[in-house]
Amino acid sequence: MKTNQIWSFIGTSLVISFVLGILIHFNTLMLTLGLFEDNPMGARKAVSIVSAFSEVLVSSMVAFCTFMINYYILRPFDKSVHIKIGRLLTAVFISLLAVTILSDLFFALKHIFEGSALRFSFNLTYMSRDFFITIIVISGIYLIKTIYDRQSVLIENEILKNEKLLSQYESLKNQISPHFLFNSLTALRELIDQDAKDAKLYISHLSLVLRYTLSSIDAPSKTLYEEIEVAESYLHLVKIRFGASIRVETSVDDKYKNYRLPPLAIQILLENAIKHNEISKKNPFTIKIFTIEDQHLVVTNTIKERVSKEYSTGIGLTNLSKQYHYLSGKEITITNNNNEFRVELPLLNPSRYEGINS
């Protein structure tokens, strides 16, 4: 059992016990303090203030001790213990017995300290008081246990939900490596047939990009600076294939360099653009990568759709959108008009996402 839960129970029990002591001796207190002119509801004659408050203290101590006894009977912070009728009746019986014994014991000690005569005669008022204490204590613990059990269920559901989201997010990230590798090997196969020298250079750059890709598997996010670096390495691969037929313009504000985004986010957009568009000397292809003031990274490309469609796994943008959803709850913005395809990626504030740093 966690120590803070025990101390919380003790604190709550003390407060309830003290309030209960006041309620039980309310009439006596009011009469003693002179707030009642008459003797309401058969209250005893006014006693000294010290005596009145000592009675409140004694009743509070009885209630508190009963709380602690039932802590071990009803076990409010143990989810495996359910308050069934048998356990409840046991708690009521033991509580009545404890309240009766403790009341007689504590009030006897009070009379001894005050030097007054002991009185052990049967009194229906005292019996009602003991029963009232018992009901309040049992009800209080039952309420505490009910609240705790509900909170535990909510916490467990939230933990399971977060674990599910994390599992889904990791699954999405792990799809990136085979996706990129498939496209890269397909391009390498084509390049080998065209130029063996360029194919060797392509393999050299490919190994650098793959190293970053593999290191990103365990990283929930990467900085914009890291992503731009690997994007530039990836673009070296692209330029080996397409030469001057592809142009890339990059303009990233330094103030955003430590902001974060999902691993390989820029590379996914570059792959998507190159895969779906025709690139040739006749149809030069332009890609722009830049930041804008509302904390977004923008990647745009000219549109010249391929006549022959390249094989697509369908992972790209859908995967990236889901990663953003699981990582931050934010959405990417996609705009497609006749001349330009534009994707805006939210940049995640590093101070807010310190827990997901690589």
Find, among 280, 273, 261, the residue nearest to 343 by Cα: 273
Report the C-alpha gap between 308 and 329 in whole angstroms: 36
Would you state the pLDDT for residue 355? 47
Q: What is the pLDDT of residue 344?
A: 95
Domain residues for 276?
Answer: 175-356
49 and 190 fall within a common domain? no
CATH number at residue 271: 3.30.565.10
Verify that 126 and 227 share a domain, yes or no. Answer: no
Q: 11 and 139, same structural domain?
A: yes
Same domain? 138 vs 220: no
pLDDT tens digits, residue range 209-238?
878 877 776 677 889 999 998 888 888 888
CA nearest to 226, candidates 218, 238, 215, 237: 215
The answer to the question of residue 149 being in a domain is yes
Among candidate residues 138, 32, 40, the one with its CA nearest the CA of residue 90:
138
Q: For residue 76, tell me if it sits in a domain.
A: yes
Domain assignment of residue 333, yes or no? yes
170 in any annotated domain: no
Rg, C-alpha atoms of the chain: 37
pLDDT at 37: 56
Same domain, 231 and 324: yes
Domain identity same for 142 and 260: no
- The answer to whether the CB of 246 falls within 8 A of the CB of 238 is yes
Q: Which of residues 165, 195, 215 is at a domain's end?
A: 165
The ranges of the chain with pLDDT < 50 are 1, 43, 122, 355-358
Domains held by the chain: number: 2
Q: Which pLDDT belongs to residue 320?
A: 82
Tokens of 107: 């009030």
The last residue of a domain, from among 129, 147, 165: 165
What confidence score (pLDDT) does residue 128 get? 80
Q: What is the pLDDT of residues 303-318, one digit of tens each?
A: 888 776 555 555 678 7
**CA-to-CA distance for 358 and 354, rounded, in angstroms?**
9
Residue type, 41: M
Average pLDDT, the chain: 79
Q: Are residues 123 and 237 in the same domain?
A: no
- The DSSP bridge partners found for residue 203 are none
- Measured from the Cβ of residue 274, the count of other Cβ atoms closer than 10 Å reads 21
Amino acid at 311: Y
User: Full-prediction pTM beyond 0.85?
Assistant: no
Same domain, 229 and 346: yes
Residue that is last in its domain, among 133, 165, 197: 165
User: Under 8 Å CB-to-CB from 297, ≥6 apart: which residues?
Assistant: 224, 252, 256, 261, 266, 289, 290, 291, 344, 345, 347
Tell me, yes or no, whether 97 lies in a domain.
yes
32-53 exposure pattern, b = at least 16 Cβ within 10 A, e = fewer: beeebeeeeeebeebbeeeebb
Could you tell me if 133 and 99 are in contact, meaning their C-beta atoms sit under 8 angstroms apart?
yes
Longest alpha-carbon distance in the chain:
114
What's the pLDDT at 24? 83
